[in-house]
Structure 1
Amino acid sequence: MPFLKRHKIPEEIENYINVICILDAVRVGRFKRLRELQDYIEKLDLEKKVPEFKWKTLKGDIESLLSLPGKSPSLRRFTSILPILNTLITLSFLIMIVLATLNTLSPKIITFNLHDVLMTIIFITGGLLVARWYMEEKIKEFYEESQKKKLRLGKINQMIIDKLLNVISEKKISIEKVRLKLFNIDYKGIIVLKKPSFFREHYLVKLNVKENIKG
């Protein structure tokens, strides 16, 4: 699910949020289920509710962005290797935590040179982190070539966010406990709660209904 919800919310609001999170993910090439997006858009009838929203044009931009990896062998390779790197990095940290814990609680169990083992794991993990950073930068550079389409998607997404905030205000719906997972935060009407971390690639945000009311 593109967003996190801690309590039940109206289907209309949920559909809006799904569209927002999906379009945001598309801007960084992270979502490919176009049919799912189209279903939400049709349920909301966004072409009538949001100015400048044209599904045919939007679909073309999305397909163009999502097809970018296929145009570059190196990018295809990077996008396929990144999940493996993330798994290996996570495992490395877990192994270090387990070894350190065992050494503290039951030092007699450790029959090898813990310092050398930890240094080796740290060295390998450092190499994996550098490799991940390099690949992420290359992917980022590649997608920046389609900046105009990404900016247009961002502009449309902002319109949808504005429309959603208006609906929430008009219907007095509580969405205080709803959290959105976004990769971009260049939107008005959101509050960033958590930044990306080692274990999380996205921002955790909530909607700022009060800002919309003031605006």
Structure 2
Amino acid sequence: MTDRYRMTRFLSSANELSQLPTDTGREIALAGRSNAGKSSALNTLTGQSRLARVSKTPGRTQLINLFTVDESHCLVDLPGYGYAQVPEAIKRHWQNVLARYLETRQALVGLLLMMDIRHPFNPLDRQMLEWTRHRGLDTHVLLTKCDKLSRGPALATLAAVRRELAAAFPNASAQLFSSLDRTGLAEAQARLDAWFGFSATPPHA
């Protein structure tokens, strides 16, 4: 794996956009439905088992958590969305904060969107994709937990997701990913490298 991500460290948490660091450098955000495997993916991408707290309780992440790769590159773990037991006021707050973050944050250069391969394209995933398409923000879908499917069905789901993205969300690409067996790790890190400017050319979608 890319060793540079092993140096990633927790920086700060924010409940409002005003609490974020100065809007400079490059940021890559991680988003996804609660329990889609976002925290596990962050840990796998950075080669650290405990960088992001992994909870079996969906909806646990309710702050924007920032992790520094180095002084000018940052990974941003956004609150998981769509968990029914989160109070309605918190849902409304985070919908507003997420929309404004995606629309206005100048340091944001790409979004990794986690979708459980068994349940892709729920309505909130589509809303997230609509936001990124509206802004023209490069988005890369990690079809997480692909180890839960055999190879044939996993590839068939990937092909179907790519077809839908190409038709409706041309700013987005997709790949298989598993935190358990590290499927797709090199491909996902190559995407991070391209967005951060560590490599000259982006990986093939």
Same fold (TM over 0.5): no
Flag the structure with higher helix content: 1
Larger Rg: 1
Flag the structure with higher strand content: 2
